Amino acid sequence: MTERPLTHSFREFPERFNMADYFLYERLAEGMGDRIALRTAREELTYTQVAEASNRIGNALRHLGLHPEDRVLIALHDTPEFVATIFGTLRIGGVVAMVNPLLTPEELRYFLEYTRCRVFVCISEVAEKISKFAMEIRTLEAVIVVGEDLPQGDLFRSYVQSELEESTKLDPYPTHRDDPAYWLFTSGTTGKPKASIHLHHDFPWNCERYALASVGYAQKDVTLSVPKLFFGYATGSNLFFPFAVGATVCLFRERSTPESVFENIERFKPTLLVSVPTMILQMANHADAAKHDLKSIRAVFSAGEALPAELYRKWQEAFKVEILDGIGSAELFHIYITNRPGDVVPGSLGKIVPGYHARIVGPDGNNVSPGEVGTLLVNGDSAAVGYFQAHEKTKEIFRGDWVRSADLFRLDGSGRFWYSGRTDDILKVGGIFVSPIEIEDCLLSHPAVAECAVVAYREAGLEKPMALIIPKAGTKPGAALAGEIAQFVKGAIAPYKFPRRVKFVEELPKNDRGKVERKKLREAVSEEFLEGSFDTDGPQGGPGSPRGEGGGEGA
């Protein structure tokens, strides 16, 4: 396939600027109000209808007393209400933050307290999770609930009722292009997520350079996403970017599985599929892969973790659809290095997006020679202003115009970047950063666990968490206990964080201060090291099946 040159004149953003105008309301001014903006299994909404729904919830938030720069936290499924809440919040000058609705009550409490949100918009299941402590959140003034079940209390109110009471007309707040607009969460080595604070111009700046100039979103496109909207990668790829050109976004609220993705591809006939390597592997390996028609798709986007070359080839053999692998981060909002249509080199993450600049440096901070591995530094005008309540970490990562990543790369002679791993211990599970410390803290609360450490292992080129456990005296280590521990983690923290393998050991490597030496553990991981561990990632092997007797790909 010949590379398609993309041409695009970058817009200048005026001093008075709101990203909701850029991504939504300008489509109405351009005469696209009757175009289909959103499609679900139940309904279709035009750009005019999305704007009216956004205005209603924006008015509701304003009447609740939301002021410019106040935070609105969202924990919703991928539904039109999620979209309307984002744009309604932005239009009145509020700041959007998003979290996974599958979080536990303790995790939700952390985010409510950390963001100091004035309003929380969530599904009824989440409202029930927080109902026992919601009144203790000092800044929280209202919980707007999407769903029929409404907890008792003055704090909780119906999303539908809130909309019905409001006008479809909304006067926007005159935001500055450098006003705060969005918080994107990332994870640090402490295990506590922290927010990258983004301004109104950040996302449009990236959209101009990545979505429009590099990968070529177009008005005729229909987009569908495997990752959900609370994940910044999906928010950009399956909402903001298609809306910027008047394309159609398809949403489904159910969990992403190979079956649900295949079903929705058949239903919506997308031209662009937003995915992650884990799902790419599951779909390529699916027993019925050959029965599914992906001919409507002109490109698949992949991010979250590097896409192994062998997996790319496996996908090509199964579906013959090009994958555009790229890398982005919460600190820079979205993708800044990517493969282009017609110019994909399997295993490479492609070339720098126009407007961004990258350096690969050694421990001394100086650029390494071409072909050598070093730490990636990036600059671009979509960079966040820093982290909330993390001054020292901000100084460590945001260095003048440069953002220091935790990623190791090498650069070849053609300007392509090749991923070589991470500089810290953070795991990437299904494309989402996960702290091993968080998993370890959970494991230690199990009555059979005396000590533990979580380390990454790779399967089919993808990173997964493995728990090394010293069992307490009197317990019987084995397949049954491994399965029990995995289920325990699933029930205590977000389910995707559970260890896919469990290995019982007599000791862990420690330094002279008594700390586990993670570097030694990382270096020890090998095929031989995995022997004797138990697969907890059914359904093929089932929880606790020993290595070598199957084991499916986890979600």
Do the Cβ atoms of 340 and 215 come closer than 8 Å? Answer: yes
Please tell me which residue, 334 or 545, carries the higher pLDDT value: 334
**Of residues 156, 160, 205, the one with CA closest to residue 22:** 205
Confidence label for 11 from pLDDT (cuts 50, 70 and 90): very high
Mean pLDDT of 34-56: 98
**Could you tell me what percent of the chain has a pLDDT over 70?**
93
One of 1.20.210.10, 3.40.50.12780, 1.10.357.10, 3.40.91.50 is the CATH number of 197-425, namely 3.40.50.12780
DSSP state of 21: I
H or E element in which residue 163 lies: helix 159-164
188, pLDDT greater than 70 = no
pLDDT of amino acid 187? 60
- Return the pLDDT at 544: 53
User: Could you report the per-residue pLDDT of 480-517, keeping only the tens digit for each?
Assistant: 999 999 999 999 988 889 999 999 999 988 753 456 77
Tally of residues, the chain: 555
Largest Cα separation within the chain, whole Å, is 72
List the chain domain ranges. Answer: 13-177, 197-425, 435-546
How many whole angstroms separate alpha carbon 9 and alpha carbon 213? Answer: 8
Same fold, 197-425 and 435-546: no
HEC profile of 318-352: HHCCCEEEEEECHHHCCEEEECECCECCCCCCEEE
| Fold classified for 13-177 | Rossmann fold (3.40.50)
Q: In CATH, what number does 435-546 get? A: 3.30.300.30
**Range scoring the smallest mean pLDDT among 54-58, 86-90, 290-294:** 290-294
3-state DSSP assignment of residue 391: helix
**E strands along 166-230, which residues?**
180-187, 193-199, 222-225
